[in-house]
Amino acid sequence: MKRLALALLCCVALDAMAQDHSHHMMPMPMPAPTTGEQPKTPIPALTDADRAAAKPPMADHPEHDNAIQSFVQFNRLEGFDGGLEWQGQAWIGTDTDKLWLRSEGERIDERTEAADLEVLYGKPIARWWDLVAGVRHDFKPGASQDWAAIGVTGTTPYKIELEATAYIGASGRTAARIEAEYEALLTNRLILQPLVELNLNGKDDPARHVGAGLSTAEAGLRLRYEVTRQFAPYIGVVYERAFGDTADLRHDASDTRVVAGFRIWF
Amino acid sequence: MTLRTPNGGPAQPARRRFVQGLAAGGAVAGLGLWPRASYALQGAGLPSVLSGTQFDLSIGETPMNFTGRTRTAITVNGSLPAPLLRWREGTTVDLRVSNALPMHSVHGHETSIHWHGILLPANMDGVPGISFDGIHRGETYAYRFDVKQSGTYWYHSHSAYQEQVGLYGPLIIDPIEPAPFAFDRDYVVMLTDWTDLDPAALFARLKKMPGYDNYYKRTLGDFMRDARRDGLAETIEDRKLWGAMRMTPTDLADVNANTYTYLLNGTTSLGNWTGLFRSGEKVRLRFINGASMTYFDVRIPGLKMTVVAADGQYVHPVTVDEFRIATAETFDVIVEPSGQDAFTIFAQDMGRTGYVSGTLAVREGLRAPVPAVEARQILSMADMGHGAAAHDMAGMDMAGMDHAAMGHAAMGHAMPAAQHHPASESHNPFVDMQAASPTPKLDDPGIGLRDNGRTVLTYSMLRSVFDDPDGRDPGRDIELHLTGHMERFTWGFNGQKFSQAEPLRFNYGERLRIVLVNDTMMTHPIHLHGMWSDLEDADGNFHVRKHTIDMPPGSRRSYRVRADALGGWAYHCHLLFHMEAGMMREVRVDE
Ligand SMILES: [Cu+2]
């Protein structure tokens, strides 16, 4: 049926070939439409030249829509009285598949007190959420240990950046880490960043001064100035508190520190 | 008069800008300064105008300086914009385009030229991988085709990011029959955006931090000001609405004057491109938006502009004070300057972060006052296609809700039925919102142009001087949704990127209707190669023939296409980085 209609169109076109229809875009009166199926301006009949010109090219269209991109950010790189702390992340990959690296740690009096590195595969699973899964290696505190990690990272309503990860380690050890961060714009360059980090553990681990349950909570408030988007120095105050058994295992259950540092990415 | 700096603060025209202006000639010293009053179509011996039927175009690299820093542009015959090509309707043109890019060019070894809006055989269309194999280093591609139309068009590279680094030029086709309007002088006004960044780095930056250029987000100060004006409760509700969507009402463009320097005929404002007139003459200005990512709002204070053609096709004349020109569109206007020695052609970007200006004057060297860039606007819920002003929705709990499921239509009065969405959009992490009740918005001048005291062009004012040239009712409808994710900087149709989707199949000779629904918060100029896009009104009546259809956020627009061009054709958003991020399809017209 379609073929028939097409044949009909071609006939009409051939018929009209003699007429000059090269400037049908010009302001001139158009004939009234004939029947519903026939175009007012005839469809040109196809020639072998048209068919030759319409052959698909040999090469594929070069695509950039799934190109590999990368990102490295030290969200926190800060000093405080007697110590240094870092928290950073990096990804490399496409829109759908990314390799993530995350690390955080603390040095006090030139000794590394805590340091970990996560290597994760990340995949978008919902509008605002990526699933991440992989491994975490703790260099400190205590003897090094490894965990399997699974979690989500994304943005909640009201634009709170959230990272929640669960860990399973050797001999049935479990842990979880939740970090939430918000950006309050005092101006478009002066930004107040509240942050909360919670650490939970399944079991007591006295060697690492960790007890079961909610072990530590950290609340930070940092005021940064974006000199450029990539480089933003900040000052802040951080309050850390240990709970339950963890508090019993430590000499100081809480700690308040003034920090200064910068955020950098590239 | 205050001028806004890219950082938002009021400022004097800074010294930095003045230095930029001195450097605004374009090609760096030693290569010759850009001729100021070029691009007049009448007047002999202008080096940048090539006319006839035989053309030799050589694509290479040329150092350019628009900002005080020298960068490498991709140019045609050493010029930016590329030479103005002047063809005649009814002739056959031969264009030998050679690739003279040097070894190790950062812009690749392949190039191409696409003749934007021109009807031609598929293998002449110039899209690598869709209509031909591209032009490789040292090669020459012979374009040869019959010129079947007339009007104002342009041409540009379709290879990677070369359009952003300068490979674009105006294309004027003289008609067989004289134009249905009179004019004494004829100038091209080509508006573009320039960056010193390598565009691949700019694209990468958009992937890392899409909001990089948005220094206009709502701050604590804005909150307090809004709370004083609208009340605390209402202000909190407003912030909740946007917060629930995780979006920013100041997000009008992905890249703005914080990154771009806007150019008019290849020179900055301080270069002051000047078109000469004698008092009382009718001057035809052919506006071309050859930018990669920028919409411009154009006016000439003190002059009415009569729009006589859109995308190369004559329209019934309509007189306006201002028009918005989407990326890739062209508008021809007639002005009749008199009573002053100089008038400013003023083009501010849609986001109101910067501008470019030129001058119409009775002699070189004159300037008229340059208006201030206007106040920045913020998007409303109605702009976003949610059909209601923010406060109407204030009672709704937006947190965590799926916009697709929002029953906005149920909210009553004169609202269109809830928009349905393709299945490929649901549970798709690359679709960050869906318009609940999009409308054609044909009589809406757009954000920032409503009720500004000026007569502003809208699509509903544009009426082709001819009837629907095909006349058939479309045999079928193809509905496509423009989709994307602001934070991931992914773009597509129906939630799918170019690389994930099969070509759209058209049957040769058929008349079909494309219905576009914009499910994003950005505007998208959608361009179909090889065939016309015959825009309809809300009732399906033919309105205007175009090659690029602007799709503001929250809009649903339809147009008819006659599939009278065999082969493979690109179909895409003409914002370069949206296209490169996936907002593109191949259309295949088969027998
Ligand atoms: Cu777009």
Residue of chain A minimizing CA distance to B401: A157
At residue B22, what are phi and psi to the nearest 5 degrees?
A: -65, -30
* Predicted local confidence at residue B26, as pLDDT: 53
Contact B175 A186 (CB under 8 A): no
Pairwise CB contact (< 8 Å): A22 & B176: yes
- Would you give per-residue pLDDT tens digits along chain B (591 residues)? 333 333 333 333 333 333 333 334 455 433 333 333 445 554 433 458 999 999 999 999 999 999 999 999 999 999 999 999 999 999 999 999 999 999 988 888 999 999 999 999 999 999 999 999 999 999 999 999 999 999 999 999 999 999 999 999 999 999 999 999 999 999 999 999 999 999 999 999 999 999 999 999 999 999 999 999 999 999 999 898 898 888 889 989 999 999 999 999 999 999 999 999 999 999 999 999 999 999 999 999 999 999 999 999 999 999 999 999 999 999 999 999 999 999 999 999 999 999 999 999 999 999 999 999 999 998 988 888 775 433 333 333 333 334 433 433 333 334 456 889 999 999 999 999 999 889 999 999 999 999 999 999 999 999 999 999 999 999 999 999 999 999 999 999 999 999 999 999 999 999 999 999 999 999 999 999 999 999 999 999 999 999 999 999 999 999 999 999 999 999 999 999 999 999 999 999 999
- Mind listing the pLDDT tens digit for each residue in A161-176? 999 999 999 889 999 9
Closest alpha carbon within chain A to B464: A27
Residue A158, classified by CB atoms within 10 Å of its CB into exposed (0-12), middle (13-18) or buried (19+), is middle
A128–B216 CB contact, under 8 Å: no
Ion ligand 1 neighbours, Cβ < 5 Å? B 524, 573, 575, 578, 583
Average pLDDT over residues A52-56: 92
Nearest to A23 among B89, B124, B509 (CB): B89
Let me know: does A239 contact A194? Beta carbons within 8 Å.
Answer: no
On whether any CB of chain A is under 8 Å from the CB of B219, the answer is yes
B324 and B295 Cβ atoms separated by less than 8 Å: yes
Interchain pair A64, B221: CB under 8 A: no
pLDDT at residue B376, rounded to an integer: 92
Please report the pLDDT score of residue B200 as a whole number.
Answer: 95
Instruction: Give the C-alpha separation, A131 to B421, whole Å.
Output: 25
Rounded distance from Cα B287 to ligand 1 centre (Å): 21
Would the CB atoms of B564 and A43 count as touching at under 8 Å? yes
Identify the closest residue of chain B to A226 by CA–CA distance: B215
At B30 the pLDDT is 35
Q: Do B129 and A24 touch (CB under 8 A)?
A: no
- Taking phi over 0 as left and psi of -120 to 50 as alpha, with beta for the rest, B151 belongs to left
Q: Which of B143, B222, B432, B508 to mutate to test the interface with A (most CBs of A within 10 A)?
A: B508
Chain A residues with CB-CB distance to B134 below 8 A: 59
CB spacing of A25 vs B150 below 8 angstroms: yes
Q: Given an 8 Å threshold on Cβ–Cβ distance, is A53 in contact with B123?
A: yes
Q: How far is CA B276 from CA B184, B186, B221, B284, B366, in A?
A: 11, 10, 46, 12, 10
Retrieve residue A207's tokens. 């060697």
> Across-strand partners of B275?
B360
Between chains, do B133 and A129 touch, taking CB under 8 Å as contact? no
Span from the CA of B89 to the centroid of ligand 1 (angstroms): 32
Whether A217 and A243 have beta carbons less than 8 Å apart is answered as yes
Q: Which of A37, A63, A66 sits opposite B472 (nearest CB)?
A: A37
What's the whole-number mean pLDDT along residues A33-43? 71
> Measured between beta carbons, which residues in chain B are less than 8 angstroms from residue A186?
219-221
The per-residue pLDDT for B108 is 87
List chain A residues with CB under 8 Å of B471.
30, 33-34, 38-40
Average pLDDT rounded to a whole number, residues A123-130: 96
User: What residue of A is the nearest CA neighbor of B7?
Assistant: A188
CA B575 – ligand 1 centroid, Å: 5
pTM beyond cutoff 0.80: yes
| Whether A25 and B244 lie within 8 Å, measured CB to CB | no
Q: How far is A57 from chain B (nearest CA, A)?
A: 5
Encoded amino acid at B157, one letter: S
B chain contacts of residue A24, beta-carbon cutoff 8 Å: 466, 469
The reply to whether residue A66 touches residue B398, judged by beta carbons under 8 angstroms, is: no
Mean pLDDT in residue range A144-170: 96
Q: Identify the CA nearest to B591 among candidates B505, B473, B477.
A: B505
Confidence of residue A245 (pLDDT cuts 50, 70, 90): confident
Bigger pLDDT: B490 vs A11: B490
Give the pLDDT mean for A245-265: 89
Pairwise CA distance, residues A15 & B296, whole Å = 46
- Give distance in angstroms: CA of B327 to centre of ligand 1: 10
CA of residue B584 to ligand 1 center, whole Å:
9
Task: Find residues 309-328 of chain B whose CB sits inside 8 Å of chain A.
Answer: 313-314
Whether ipTM > 0.90 holds is no
CA nearest to B236 within chain A: A158
Specify whether the CB–CB gap between B160 and B127 falls below 8 A. Answer: no
Distance B185 CA to ligand 1 centre (A): 35
Measured CA to CA, the distance from residue B280 to residue B437 in angstroms comes to 48
> Does the beta-carbon distance from B509 to A56 stay under 8 Å?
no
Written as six digits, the tokens of B35 are 């001729």
SS3 label, residue B15: helix
| Interface contact B121-A36, CB threshold 8 A | no
Length of chain B: 591
Q: Which residue of A has its CA nearest to B143?
A: A53
Q: How far is the CA of B421 from the centre of ligand 1 (A)?
A: 18
Largest CA distance in chain A: 99
**Which of A22-31, A221-230, B548-557 has the weakest average pLDDT?**
A22-31
**Which helix (DSSP H) or strand (DSSP E) does residue A12 occupy?**
helix A2-16
Q: Note the pLDDT of residue B155.
A: 98
* Contacts A12 to B, Cβ<8 Å: none
Q: Is residue B38 within 8 Å of residue B47, measured between CB atoms?
A: yes
| B511 in contact with chain A, both atoms CB, cutoff 8 A | yes
pLDDT at residue A36, rounded to an integer: 54
Size of interface A-B (CB pairs under 8 A): 202
Cβ separation of B472 and A33 shorter than 8 Å?
Answer: yes
Q: What pLDDT band is residue A58 in, cutting at 50, 70 and 90? A: confident
CA B244 to CA B289: how far, in whole Å? 35
Residue-level pLDDT at B48 = 83
* Long-range residue pairs from B372-378, CB within 8 A, at least 24 positions apart, any chain: B372/B1, B372/B2, B372/B3, B372/B4, B373/B3, B373/B4, B373/B348, B374/B348, B374/B448, B374/B452, B376/B216, B376/B250, B376/B252, B376/B351, B376/B352, B376/B448, B377/B252, B377/B352, B377/B447, B377/B448, B378/B218, B378/B249, B378/B250
Whether residues A158 and B216 touch (CB distance < 8 A) is answered with: no
Q: Rounded to the nearest 5°, which phi and psi values hold at A3?
A: -60, -40
Joined tokens for residue B26:
């374009």
Q: Enumerate the residues of chain A whose CB falls inside 8 A of the CB of residue B497.
A: 65-66, 95
- B377 interfaces chain A, CB cutoff of 8 Å: no
Whether residue B9 lies within 8 A of chain A, CB to CB, comes out as: no
Q: Which residue has the higher pLDDT, A25 or B154?
A: B154
Residue B58 CB coordination number (10 Å):
15
CA distance, residue A146 to nearest chain B CA (Å): 30
B123 and A59 within 8 Å at the Cβ level: the answer is no
Q: Distance between CA atoms of A140 and B25, rounded to whole angstroms?
A: 60
Q: How far is CA B232 from CA A30, A157, A212, B162, B203, in A?
A: 60, 20, 44, 49, 39
Q: What is the C-alpha radius of gyration for chain A, rounded to an integer number of angstroms?
A: 32
Concatenated DSSP letters of B373-386: PPPP----TTTTT-
Closest residue on chain B to A64 (Cα): B580
**What residues of chain B lie within 8 A of the CB of A38, using their CB?**
471-472
Return the SS3 of B549: strand
Pairwise CB contact (< 8 Å): B473 & A126: no
Q: Which residues contact A48 (CB under 8 A, 6 or more apart)?
A: none
pLDDT at A231 over 80: yes
Cα angle B223-B225-B227, degrees, rounded to a multiple of 5:
65
Closest-CA residue to A95 (of B589, B508, B213, B487): B487
Question: What are the chain A neighbours of B545 within 8 Å (beta carbons)?
Answer: 25
Identify all chain B residues contacting A47, using CB atoms and an 8 Å cutoff.
none
> Would you state the pLDDT for residue B403?
42
Contact between B566 and A51 using a beta-carbon 8 Å cutoff: yes
Inform me whether the C-beta atom of residue B255 falls under 8 Å from chain A C-beta atoms: no
Quote the pLDDT of residue A62: 74
Q: Does B493 touch chain A (CB under 8 A)?
A: no
A7 DSSP 8-state letter: H
More confident residue, B232 or A13: B232
- Three-state SS at B224: helix
Per residue in A73-97, pLDDT tens?
Answer: 999 999 999 899 999 999 999 999 9
Q: Distance from A7 to chain B by nearest Cα, in Å?
A: 10
Asked whether A157 and A141 are in contact (CB, 8 A), the reply is no
Q: What is the DSSP letter of B69?
A: S
Nearest chain B Cα to A92, which residue?
Answer: B208
Angstrom distances, CA of residue A174 to CA of A62, A208, A250, B335? 46, 14, 20, 75
The mean predicted confidence, pLDDT, of chain A is: 86
